[in-house]
Amino acid sequence: MENRDLSALPALLLPWYREHRRELPWRQTKEPYPIWLSEIMLQQTRVEAVKGYYARFLAALPTVQALAACDDDTLHKLWEGLGYYSRVRNLKKAAQVIVERYDGEFPRAYSDVLALPGIGEYTAGAICSIAFDQPTPAVDGNVLRVFARLTDDPSPIDLPAVKARTRASLAAVYPKEAGEFTQALMELGATLCGPNRKPECEHCPCRAICLGFRNGTAEALPVKSPKKERRQEDRTVFIFRCDGRYALEKRPEKGLLAGLWQFPNVPGHLTTAQALSQAERMGLRPREILREVERKHIFTHIQWNMKGIYLEVSETAGSYRWLSEQEIEAQAALPTAFRLFWEER
């Protein structure tokens, strides 16, 4: 499909969006900070799951300056359960850059926004178009799906060249209502032209120019490259308890779940006897095994197959932080992989 054919997109899509869009809290503002926050939170996360986090985060940290000054434990606690914690660490780093380099004013130039930590082409495009009405497409999976169907393009949408081509084609037809157009494309890709289900072509405002609809290929699109299998890792997780307090430790500052709290754990699945011996090597004296459970947690490229062992110990020894239930709930951000065991204590 040539750009001249796509030029009809804004006229078809904007009236539909104005009538049918979902009322979402981050659509009530043109301020770049909350728009940026919502876009980061929405990565790999469902809209309904984000709403509560978004409101709590803004209530606690209403400005870029507040985010830049926030201590890491408080920041991680606000993010607890959302996963992909590198997102919130980069939020803080970017906020500090904005405070130090731009006097707390969010930069308006696309190149400056793109240079901020944790911001890629999609997020920079979303911020600059929605907050500043610049013709900067925000091309994510939803938009790639819509575009593949509009153009009847069987190219794998996860290829960088396909994403670049989509971005260039959309930039050429952006209207002056850039922010609305960006959100309309997102909305179409999240609803009528959504993932993992049959497209609702009969209700789509773009069906008159959609080659996928015309050629009967829309349901088969988009195409993705074959996924690599996740690496499997076995771990034994210890939930040590003593006098109502639980042993926690911080993960390393780099790598998976960097800087977050965790229950002590070791590679492999230990037998009961091995677990008791391991606890002693950790400087603890086991009194009673309370129970054992098995759980799994899936990261993007890794699956943890975890065996959780609940152990009552004689004293709060070892190089751990021993916290009460109330202190853990208030202070310690447990990533979902470990919260699975906390919620079953």
Do residues 86 and 118 lie in contact, with contact meaning Cβ atoms separated by under 8 Å? yes
Max CA separation in the chain (angstroms): 75
Helix (H, G, I), strand (E, B) or coil at 63: coil
Q: What are 82's two structure tokens?
A: 């959302």
What pLDDT, in 10s, does the model give residues 90-124?
999 999 999 999 999 999 999 999 999 999 999 99
Catalytic residue chosen out of the listed positions 2, 19, 31, 39: 39
39 is an active site residue: yes
Our measurement of the distance from residue 93's CA atom to the centroid of its chain's CA atoms, rounded to an integer in Å, reads: 17
- Strands 261-262, 245-250: pairing is antiparallel
- Between CA 145 and CA 222 the distance in angstroms is 5
Question: Domains, the chain, ranges and CATH?
Answer: 3-220 (1.10.340.30), 231-342 (3.90.79.10)
Q: What is the DSSP string of 102-160?
A: HTTPPP-SHHHHHTSTT--HHHHHHHHHHHH--S-----HHHHHHHHHHHT--SBTTSH
CA atoms within 13 A on the CB side of 34: 19
Rounded to an integer, what distance in angstroms lies between the CA atom of residue 108 and that of residue 290?
A: 56
Alpha helices in 175-299 (DSSP H): 178-190, 211-215, 272-281
- Say how far apart CA 84 and CA 81 lie, in whole Å: 9
Q: What are phi and psi of 288, to 5 degrees?
A: -160, 135
**95: closest CA among 134, 132, 61?**
61
In order, the DSSP letters of 281-294 are HTT--EEEEEEEEE
Angle at which helices 47-60 and 72-79 pack, to 10 degrees?
150
pLDDT at 2: 46
**Among 341, 331, 326, which residue's Cα sits nearest to residue 240?**
341
| Amino acid 345: pLDDT | 85
pTM: 0.88
> Which residues face 292 on adjacent strands?
309
Rounded mean pLDDT for each run of 10 residues along the chain, 345 residues in total: 74 98 96 98 93 97 98 95 92 98 98 98 98 97 97 96 96 97 97 95 96 96 92 98 97 92 97 96 95 95 96 94 96 94 91
